[in-house]
Amino acid sequence: MTVLSNRLEKLRKQKGWSKVEVSRRLGMKASSTYSNWEYGNREPDNEMLAKISKLYDVSTDYLLGNSDSPKPDSDNDQSFFEDFKNRKEVIDFVSELTDADKEAIEQLKEIWKVIKKK
């Protein structure tokens, strides 16, 4: 079995749905198609993969095994950002930045670019 087939089965069982129910929710005519995906015999096309990710509220990267985080990265990033921006150190740092000159801010941007590449 593939990562995709394992995750499809796991997500379906978490919802308590049958393969027929998932097929119906995806608007499929034949439940055997979905079954083949879970058995690892076939894979859905990109359009259907997007529908599946929406149905289960997970990212396509998670379904395909490119990420172990079920939620799309933007959700995880948003949560991290919300926690980060409310920290006192960050608030103090940002208020200091508003008083800094443009050259210092540009230097910080360049430093950040280097850090992001690592």
Q: Tens digits of per-residue pLDDT, 19-56? A: 999 999 999 999 999 999 999 999 999 999 999 999 99
Radius of gyration of the chain (CA): 22
Distances 99 to 34, 84, 103 between C-alpha atoms, Å: 59, 21, 12
At the second CATH level, the architecture of 3-64 is Orthogonal Bundle (1.10)
Domain ranges of the chain: 3-64, 73-117
pTM, two decimal places: 0.61
pLDDT in tens, 78-107: 666 677 667 777 777 777 777 767 788 888
